[in-house]
Every structure is written in C-alpha cells, then in structure tokens.
Structure 1
Amino acid sequence: MEEKWLAVLDPLAELNPETDTTLAIIETARRRGIVVATTTIEELFFDGAAMAWTLGADGRRERTALDDHTLVLMRKEPPYDLAFHYATQLLSLTSAAVVNEPSALRDFNEKLIALRFAEYMPPTMVASDPSLLAEFVAGHGACVLKALDSFQGRSVERIETPDNDRLRLFTGDGKYPAMVQSFLEDVYDGDKRVLLLGDQFLGAALRRPRQGFHASFARSEAISCGLSQTEQQIVDRVGPWLVDHGIHFAGLDFIGERLTEINITCPTGIKQIGRLDRRDLAAEIVDYLSVLSARARADS
C-alpha cells in the first residue's frame, strides 16, 4: 500500500510557514514522496465509515475514507473543546495509525496529565472550590493561576494573595476546576520546552520572556540548551509512560528543573529548536512516523 498520510490541522491560511511545526513535517514528508493530504476537524464525518473532505498538495478537494491513509496526524491546536472532542471520536474509528492517539487526547488534559508525575512538579492544587484554592495561595504565597483549557500562556495569571474575585472567575463560581501552582521565580530566566519523540529526547530550547513571565516561542527569546541530569531523569520516567498511552510526540515544560506541563495536543517548537541546533528535526520526525506507518500497515 502506498504511504499516504492525512494531517488534521487548523486552516492552512492561519499557519505561519516560518514557525509552524505541522507544515514543516508535511513539507518534509512530501519531499520524500509520501502523499500527504490535509483536512480540518470540521471536514471529518461518518458515512458508513470515518471519512473526511481532504485537500491534496495540488489543491484538489476529495472525499476520502480515513482508512485509505496509513497515518493520521492529529495536529489541531487547542483549546480542547467539544468540536475537538467529537473529532477524536471520529478519528478513533479508523484503522490507520493516529498520532497522537485519540483516546489519549480525550483522557489526558494537558494541565492534568502532569499530575501523574507530581513529585517532579512545583506545589500544585486543582480544585473547583475557590476557598480551597485561596487556602493554597495563602499557604504558598505568590502562585500561578491557570484555567485547565488555557494554552500559549492564555488564561494564566500570577496572584500574590488569595484573590477571591479571580478565583471565582477561573472556576466559574465553583463550577469548574482550576489549577494553582507555586510561582517559580526561575521563569524569568526561562521556561524550557523539551520535545520528546517516542520516549526519547528530541531537542530543547529555553524560552526567556521578553517581558513579564509568560514564556512561549511567540513571546520569548529562544536560547539553545540541553537537559540537566535531573531533567533527563524525568524524561526517562515520563517518556515510556507517554508511548505506552499512544503519545508519540510531546512537549514537556520545565521551570528551574521542575515539570510544569506536558503538551500532547499540538506540541510545537521544531523550527525554532532546529535553527538553534542546526538540525532538521522535521526529518527525524518523518523517519519516526514512517516506522509507525509501516508497522500499522503490517498489522492491518
């Protein structure tokens, strides 16, 4: 069977070719002769089988079955909402390999997944009750308050004291859980994004905020770096667990050697890290995905 991939992503017009991880993977795969089509979650549907309206490299729009592909890349950016949730349900109906596994995307919120490794995290509480969160802040001092569906630093605020108004806002007056973490002053030196491919370290960059404490590739200076011994130990623990749950491409965030988040929905950074390290990370990812694709074909 010809190697055919399908990338589920945001509208192509919204993506920046200079920085977008998914576009880099697609372009590299196509240069190697892999047929790669794209689609969006709105174009997924079911009609006797899981289907999609897809766009080929030539711009031609076709109705295709997901099973006609050997690999599906789920690269829709957060937030994880009901539309995203329903898309994972449809993706679970295909026999093609899906990266990352749709069931893992459903099961593991990007903020909550890190709690399985809480011993490596700063002091953290998740609760819907504003009074519990206020008690945590009172005991730990300056904290970061996070909505569980936040991404790229959005809906993330620093609070110095128990701010009942903010806590009620972030929890919807006690209806939804929010996260508070002890504020790490090391964030001003940088938030380290560590990319994992399979269970192995792929690359890293220290994102030093240009102002404030929000660290992302868009808002920060990217600095080349590796892993400390402590960070490598955490990677050695987290990586195999991720692969066991069908998560083959992930981004771990560290502040001062403390794990703060595990990004599994649409981790980014290969263009920035690749430029810093003078490596073609997209080629390494395509190599890995081709092995997964071949394995899926052999098993089908």
Structure 2
Amino acid sequence: MNIAFLADPLASFKIYKDSTFAMMREAARRGHTLYAFEQGDMALEGGRVVANVAEITLTGDPDNWYHAGPVQARALESFDAVLQRKDPPFDMEYIYGTYLLELAERQGARVFNKPAAIRNHNEKLSIAQFAEFTAPTLVTSDPRRLRAFHAEHGDVILKPLDGMGGMGIFRVKDDGINLGAIIETLTDHGRRTIMAQRYIPEISKGDKRVLLIGGQVVPYALARIPQAGEVRGNLAAGGTGVAQPLTAREREIGESLAPELAARGLLLVGCDVIGDYLTEVNVTSPTCFQEIMQQTGCDVAAIFIDALERAVA
C-alpha cells in the first residue's frame, strides 16, 4: 500500500514513544510505502484536494530517523490510505482540515479516522452518548448550574471541552476554595461551555487508556498515574505510564463502544477510564502504542496495521 500520514512535523517526533512512528515502522516492515505531509500542505486546487507530500524512508538511526524524498503535489485519492494523525489543538484550522479531507473522501480517498467522525466526536462531550458508563456529569456555561453541581457532589473536576494533555483541569473539594474564580476563568464569565464531573478517587490508581482498533479491544491499557500532589494522570502533565491487563469493567466498556465507534468510521479510538467510569473518547490521534508494547510485548502497531489492511482490502 501507499500510505500517507497527515501529521505534525516529523522532526518533532519523540520516536521512542510516538505512536505514529510505531505505525510507520510496522507499515514499512511489511513493505508498504510511506508518505508524510502536514495540515498546511493541503489545498483545494482545480476542484481536487491535493497535498505537497514527500516519500519517507526510515533509516533505523534514532538521531536521524527518516529520509524525505522530493516534495510532490498529489491528489489524496491517489493513496491507498490517508492516516489523520495531526495532534490537537482542535481549533478552526483543524476543522478546516477535516473539511478538506471529507472532500477528498468524496473524490475517492480512504481517510482514517473518517474526518466527519473526528469532527462529530468531541473528546470530552462524546461520553454523553454512553451515559451508562459515566460518572455524574454536567455540561454548561451557566455559573449557577456549576455551583449547584458542586454543592450536590462536594468534590468535582472542572475542565474545558477543548483541552488536551490535562490542560485547564481543576479539582474543587467540598470547601469550595477558588470555585468562583475557576468557574469565571474556564467559562470566560459564562461565555464558554465547560464540563463538570464528580471526582473519581480511583484516579490515584491511574487514568487508563483503553485502545479500540478496528472494532476490537486491545487487551492491555496504559494506566497513567498522577505524580504526587496532582489530579491529572496525563503523561504530558507528569503522569507515569504503567501497562496493565484490562479489568472486567474496562473490557465491558471497550467491548460496548468498539463496534459502534468502528461503524461510525473510527478505526482507532482511545477511551479514558478512571475506576469504573468512562471519562473521554479520544479520536484525533490516540497514543500509548509504544508504552504498551515495551512493557507487555503486545504489538499494538501490528494490530493497527492489520486493521488498516483489512479496511482497505
């Protein structure tokens, strides 16, 4: 296959842990041809969605890990698969990118995850579609409702709907210290919608990343355990990643969501689970492939490329 990766600049990759690199390495091992481009390389030109792409070859040298060939303009439908691996922020430029990718699909491109499905699944708010697995949750911009939610539950988490890597997440305990200031800041004085959730004490055991690939559940999760004094397990916020077999509850959640999300065009999903509760549904560029592989031997990248090959067969 000819596989085009829409990603952030390759020079920014930390290949010892990057999941996109793991995908590339496994695809190359199988003899597939790799190409790479960035979001700004796409254009709608002459009625076709094209991108300035470069064929890339993996060198095996960790300090200079790829060689890029000449840049060429190609229509996206000329590839067997286009993998959307652009990291957030999920801003308007990201959304414009999904529009272009959706147009490319109409012209014959095979894009994974489907751009419309990415756009339609806010990674925080999508949990509301699976309410049987969620802790008490409120989504609003109304400070009065947020205060009432805190009064009811006593210990809550407040977070923006467009955050990533643990940014903007606050815990407010039953003493309510700084509740007003946090609400004002996150909602921009009632002008921005945010999420409040009842605090889940099991965060101390980790925010578990459960991967769904091609409608199936990867048998290991990565528990991202907060450092001392933190409520955020995100690796970007200093959490420690520990791979663990799925619990019965994590498998239940994964097996319930996997076929439904796959049917919506989401080949790869990262569900975040704390204790017994689903807290996020990550669809933009889910990670943790390498940490799971390094600690358990479960080759997540191979599972993913297997699923990709089936999807384009």
User: Fold match, TM over 0.5?
Assistant: yes
TM-score, normalisation: structure 2: 0.90
- Correspondence 1:102 to 2:115: yes
Matched AA of 2:290: K
User: 1:297 is matched with which residue?
Assistant: none
Give the whole-Å Cα distance in 2 for the aligned partners of 1:260 and 1:36.
Answer: 34
Give the whole-Å Cα distance in 1 for the aligned partners of 2:10 and 2:143.
Answer: 40
Q: Indicate the RMSD between aligned Cα atoms, in angstroms.
A: 1.3
Structure 2's unaligned 5+ residue stretches are 57-66
- Correspondence 1:191 to 2:207: yes
Matched AA of 2:102: S
User: 1:298 is matched with which residue?
Assistant: none
Secondary structure class of the residue paired with 2:222: strand
Contact 1:142 1:159 (C-alpha < 8 Å) held by counterparts: yes
User: 2:187 is matched with which residue?
Assistant: 171
Secondary structure class of the residue paired with 1:144: strand
Q: Percent identity?
A: 34
Deviations 1:7-58 (A, max 9, x none): 1111111111011000110122122221110111111111120000112114
Contact 2:209 2:272 (C-alpha < 8 Å) held by counterparts: yes
Contact 1:43 1:53 (C-alpha < 8 Å) held by counterparts: yes
- Correspondence 1:68 to 2:78: yes
Length, aligned pairs only: 292
Q: Choose which of 200, 214, 217 in structure 1 pairs with 2:232.
A: 214
Matched AA of 2:50: M
Matched AA of 2:231: F
Q: Which runs of 4+ in 1 moved over 3 A?
A: none
User: 2:55 is matched with which residue?
Assistant: 56
Contact 2:23 2:301 (C-alpha < 8 Å) held by counterparts: yes
Give the whole-Å Cα distance in 2 for the aligned partners of 1:250 and 1:260.
Answer: 13
Q: Choose which of 164, 182, 188 in structure 1 pairs with 2:198.
A: 182
Structure 1's unaligned 5+ residue stretches are 295-300
User: 2:98 is matched with which residue?
Assistant: 88
Q: Choose which of 248, 252, 277 in structure 2 pairs with 1:258.
A: 277
Contact 1:97 1:292 (C-alpha < 8 Å) held by counterparts: no
Secondary structure class of the residue paired with 1:92: helix
Q: Choose which of 119, 126, 133 in structure 1 pairs with 2:146.
A: 133
Where do 1:1-300 residues align within 5 Å?
Answer: 3-47=1-45, 48-57=47-56, 58-59=67-68, 60-94=70-104, 95-160=108-173, 161=176, 163-202=179-218, 203-211=220-228, 212-218=230-236, 219-294=238-313
